[in-house]
Structure 1
Amino acid sequence: MNAMLLLFGYEPPPSDALRDHARALYERRQEGVIVPEVDVGTDVWRPVPQDCHGNCEAWCERNPEYQLVRGWILMPLLGLAYSRFLSHSVVRRPDHVLIDMTPRGPLRKPAPYLFLATILSNDKYEALVTDLYKASEAGFLDHQHPRLNDD
């Protein structure tokens, strides 16, 4: 198969720091966990579809017993020679269970995904994601596999 086809849609990280971070995420991919989606909306407040960072920040401000957890959704791209990581936020309940409160929007079906919590400080994570959004409005980070047969 043509190498170009195996990299269809691949976007090289826009900086050395982001490339290194993508590599580190790929190396930690086995640490990903499935995070259940939970509807926390009430008559007073409802999370905004596809605004995970803002939703989780607002929820934690209103509910200080919850903890904001920054990280990445691992998006395996079967048949392609790269993996994609999408910046994402969830919250940790007081019983330490992670939940995703952000609705996906009307055109996206809920589906299980692997979430990889960041190991960076919140400030470093936010700076990295800010740099990523400045370079690409999509908010994702691609990592080309070291060998074409890796998954």
Structure 2
Amino acid sequence: MRIRSAPLLVLLLLAGCATTPQPATTPATVKPAEPSAAPASADWQNLGVSPNGNILNELDQLSIKRQGPLVTFRDRKTIFNLKQENFLSTPRHKVSLNSWRIDCSQHTFRLLDMVLFDENGRQIASFSYNDSQIKAMPVVQNSASYQQMLLVCKGQPGF
């Protein structure tokens, strides 16, 4: 009888600890959840819009990680009018968060992964790519990747 009641006694003691009264605190303001395509620990820098004015390009300054001439970072692309875009094989989306690697010495860039969100901020797709799936490509002058390279490679030789 004692052996069976021991676990029950431990359980009651633990339950009593969990209900210990706490000092009153000011209640937090309750806000409805807002859809968010980015974590709170981001510092988005506006890099401008696409030539047709339909896509806003931003770069998360807090995501920049340098390792020699290689730099990884995140960018965010927001599409203003979805009807104006041809998504090809990419699912229709409002926002994409992308991780990139730029080689500052070779002036190349490569997409590492992509997360897509709909108009309500809900994640609809996520993709990761290895070296054989997406090869590094040359950075084209005056492109979005060129603007990114100028920012993330600042201070490197040649920048």
TM-score of the superposed pair, with normalisation by structure 1: 0.27
Point out which structure has higher relative CO (alpha carbons under 8 A, 6+ apart).
1
Please say which structure displays the higher CA radius of gyration: 2
| TM-score with structure 2 setting the length | 0.26
Structure 1 or 2: more strand by fraction = 2
